[in-house]
Structure 1
Amino acid sequence: MGEPEPEVGSWLRCYRCWSQQLEVNVTYEGLHRVDPATGERADAVDEIQDSVVQCLDCMHDQPHLTFNDGRVQPIGNRWERMVAGTPWVASCTVTVEADEVEACSGPHAGDALSYAAFGDHGTREFFTHVRFHKHDDDRVVVHLLVELYARSAEEATDVLADASRGILAITSLAEESRPPAAVDDPHA
């Protein structure tokens, strides 16, 4: 038998301001056969669902939450780190193979370089800022500032190392203060 689900109130909140005023944006694409006798939708050939949970108070996406089977659910132990942790900012480089980088210039270069360095974590969980990059033979060295949430410097280092898709070098790591918690009526 698996671990019991944590209490809903402990994870169903914004990791930045702790507000429980959340919404989920669900995008669905489906390819379905059509029943020739009725014209109704029949068997699903292919279905894709993507979702983003967002805080209505601070408008930040909630990468520790997902939408599955009709309800919002926590993602693994990520919610513990993000809700109970504090922000950490790392200055680092990640060296990746050049063919892992989709674009080095243009409007999507920042996301492409962040993705090459940290995969989905670099575009969905971490706040990344690509300072610059350089080409070194068949490799690209991406210099980034990364904000992530963790409960300690060791955990922040481990999370970055686990997410890295190349050779990671952390030049500095500093704990920041947590943003203020949301209040019931911010306009009162």
Structure 2
Amino acid sequence: MGLMEGSARESVGTLSSWLRCYRCWSRNLEVQVHYEGILKIDPETGEAEDPVEEVQEAVVQCLDCMHDQPHLSLAFYEIDGRRVSRLEPVEDRWERLVTGTPWVASCTVTVDADEVETCSGPEAAESLAYAAFGDYGTREFFTHVRFHKHEDDKIVVHLLVELYARSAEEATQVLEQAARGPLAITSLAEESRPPAASGESPH
């Protein structure tokens, strides 16, 4: 998933085209940055040096409808010796989510049993959704695991999935690309878009 840079970013139009919630089109967004790092300490000065290891995750959320925004990512730049951060659209995702409509699919995904971390208890649904669709299943799609079946060394996960797309063909393609095993779609229906927070169109 690439971020748009320079002239490519300018070609998508104004910021209002993509700098908004993809569900309710609100521009009331915030970024939650989670950082973990291991810093080496200088034994002479006690100063923390550059990180030996660091992991940083940024989650963009709409403050009006409280949904995560998987079409936006936080990018960092060095400008005149200072670190600047700004939101950028995820190139192969933003337009589909912002201009698309919700589609609900009833489907199954068959995965290797060892891909499922746990299939019982409070974390089972997220584990099964991740096994079926990876990050899409826990970050972009709204997944409801209806049930699962064990078949030898495989697990068949039965789900209802809501995703955003501009057509049935695109919705099917996104599901096929995200599935981490054989996918069977039993039904696919377009739903109404949630009401806009500000009553404005994204265009």
TM-score, normalised to structure 2, is: 0.88
Q: Cα distance, 1:75 vs. partner?
A: 1.3
User: 2:65 — aligned with what?
Assistant: 58
Q: Among residues 131, 141, 144, which one is paired with 2:156 in the alignment? A: 141
SS at match of 1:57: coil
User: 2:179 — aligned with what?
Assistant: 164
Opposite residue 56 of structure 2, the aligned amino acid is Q
**Distance in 2 (alpha carbons) for counterparts of 1:144 and 1:43:** 45
User: 1:120 — aligned with what?
Assistant: 135
For residues 70-89 of structure 1, the aligned pairs below 5 Å read 70-89=85-104
User: 2:29 — aligned with what?
Assistant: 22
Poorly superposed stretches of 4+, deviation over 6 Å: none
SS at match of 1:4: helix
The 8 Å contact of residues 25 and 198 in structure 2, kept in 1 or not, is answered as no
Long gaps (5+) in structure 1: none
- Cα deviation, 1:4-33, whole Å, max 9, x if unaligned, reads 102322111000000001000001111111
Identity percentage over the alignment? 71
Opposite residue 138 of structure 1, the aligned amino acid is D
Number of aligned residues: 184
User: 1:95 — aligned with what?
Assistant: 110
Q: Cα distance, 1:84 vs. partner?
A: 0.4
Q: Among residues 47, 53, 63, which one is paired with 1:46 in the alignment? A: 53
Q: Cα distance, 1:36 vs. partner?
A: 1.7
- Cα deviation, 1:99-138, whole Å, max 9, x if unaligned, reads 1111110010000000000000000000000000000111
TM-score, normalised to structure 1, is: 0.95
Opposite residue 84 of structure 1, the aligned amino acid is T
The range that moved more, 139-148 or 34-43, is 34-43
Opposite residue 23 of structure 1, the aligned amino acid is E
Q: Cα distance, 1:43 vs. partner?
A: 2.4
User: 2:188 — aligned with what?
Assistant: 173
The range that moved more, 154-163 or 54-63, is 54-63
User: 2:79 — aligned with what?
Assistant: none
- Cα deviation, 1:29-50, whole Å, max 9, x if unaligned, reads 1111111221111121001100
**1:107 partnered with 2:122:** yes
SS at match of 2:139: helix
**Distance in 1 (alpha carbons) for counterparts of 2:92 and 2:26:** 19
Opposite residue 92 of structure 2, the aligned amino acid is N
